[in-house]
């Protein structure tokens, strides 16, 4: 899942981003409204976590622009305000969900995952192919009754491939969906991760390399 975190308090933003990455999400971080709109225009995010009180362009205006645009990113608005009326106003701007500060990290992560499921085409709660099954919510992957011990990146790559339903997924698409904006597009990290994943999946092989195309299950 690709997430854009827009929060002007740098230490808070970095702490939250670090936690979300440990949850297996690819997270980009910006600190003002201008950068938020620039990133949203250039990259498809599943969820945008948007602080309401931003410098540059206020979070309310950022939310209005995002809601009126062609993208299907879900917006989770954060604010220090706890009054019901202000929450209603935030939702009226086009936000999909609203979380007042201070918040519990576990709740934030759960809300992001819920919104992420809504941002994509409807998928079954468990992704399956033959004797392989993957449960994104529980972060569990099993093949032939054997629990797979996957890293966060391996799990995310496998989820992307299964969600594609047999379609080819390019290395560039995997890099965009699983890693963040600091990933080197010329790196071999996708190929390396695929190699490790193949080893853990075992035989018979499930991941096919499509020449000049990418990978598919």
Q: Where are the domains of the chain?
A: 2-119, 127-216
> What are the tens digits of pLDDT across the range 13-63?
999 999 999 888 889 999 999 999 999 998 889 899 999 889 989 999 999
Question: 2-119 and 127-216 share one CATH topology?
Answer: no
| pLDDT tens digits along 134-168 | 988 788 999 999 999 999 899 989 999 998 888 99
> Between the CA atoms of 126, 127, 133 and 138, what dihedral angle is there, to the nearest 10 degrees?
-40
Confidence of residue 71 (pLDDT cuts 50, 70, 90): confident
Residue 200 pLDDT > 90, yes or no? yes
Mean pLDDT of the chain: 87
Digit-coded pLDDT (tens) for 72-85: 889 999 887 655 56
What is the model's pLDDT at position 137?
Answer: 76
* pLDDT for residue 198 is more than 70: yes
DSSP 169: B
193 contact partners, CB below 8 Å, separation of at least 6: 153, 154, 157, 178
* 3-state DSSP percent of the chain in helix, strand and coil, to 5: 40, 20, 40
d(CA 99, CA 16): 14
Report the Cα 166 to chain-centroid distance in Å.
21
What pLDDT score was predicted for residue 109?
93
Q: Cβ of 154: how many Cβ atoms within 10 Å?
A: 22
What pLDDT, in 10s, does the model give residues 4-15?
999 999 999 999
Superfamily of domain 2-119: Response regulator (3.40.50.2300)
Res 86: pLDDT: 63
Query: Alpha helix (H) ranges present in 43-151?
Result: 59-68, 84-92, 105-119
What pLDDT does 117 receive? Answer: 72
Tokens read off for 194: 């695929």
Q: Which CATH architecture has domain 127-216?
A: Orthogonal Bundle (1.10)
Q: What is the mean pLDDT of residues 82-110?
A: 79
Residue 151 DSSP symbol: -
Q: Flag whether pLDDT at 206 surpasses 80.
A: yes
Residue spans of beta strands (DSSP E) within the chain:
2-6, 26-30, 47-51, 74-79, 97-100, 127-129, 132-135, 140-143, 146-147, 208-210, 214-216
When comparing pLDDT for 99 and 123, which is higher? 99
CA distance 156 to 179: 9
- Which letter does DSSP use for residue 69 in this model? S
pLDDT tens digits for 168-191? Answer: 999 888 888 888 776 776 678 899
């Amino acid at each position: 899942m690709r997430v854009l975190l827009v929060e002007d308090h740098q230490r808070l933003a970095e702490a939250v981003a670090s936690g979300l990455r440990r949850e297996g999400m690819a997270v980009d971080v910006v600190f003002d409204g201008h950068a938020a709109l620039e990133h949203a225009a250039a990259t498809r995010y599943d969820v945008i976590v948007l602080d309401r009180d931003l410098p540059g362009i206020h979070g309310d205006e950022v939310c209005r622009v995002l809601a009126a645009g062609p993208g299907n990113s879900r917006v989770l608005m954060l604010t220090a305000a706890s009054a019901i009326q202000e929450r209603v106003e935030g939702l009226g701007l086009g936000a999909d969900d609203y979380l007042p500060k201070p918040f519990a990290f576990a709740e934030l992560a759960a809300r992001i995952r819920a919104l992420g499921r809504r941002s994509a085409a409807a998928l079954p709660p468990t992704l399956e192919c033959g004797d392989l099954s993957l449960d994104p919510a529980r972060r569990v992957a099993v093949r032939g009754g054997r629990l797979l011990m996957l890293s966060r990146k391996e799990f995310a790559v496998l989820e992307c491939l299964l969600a594609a339903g047999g379609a080819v997924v390019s290395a560039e698409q995997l890099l965009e969906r699983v890693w963040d904006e600091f990933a080197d597009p010329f790196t071999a990290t996708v190929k390396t991760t695929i190699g490790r994943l193949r080893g853990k999946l075992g035989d018979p092989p499930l991941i096919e390399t499509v020449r000049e195309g990418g990978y598919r299950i």
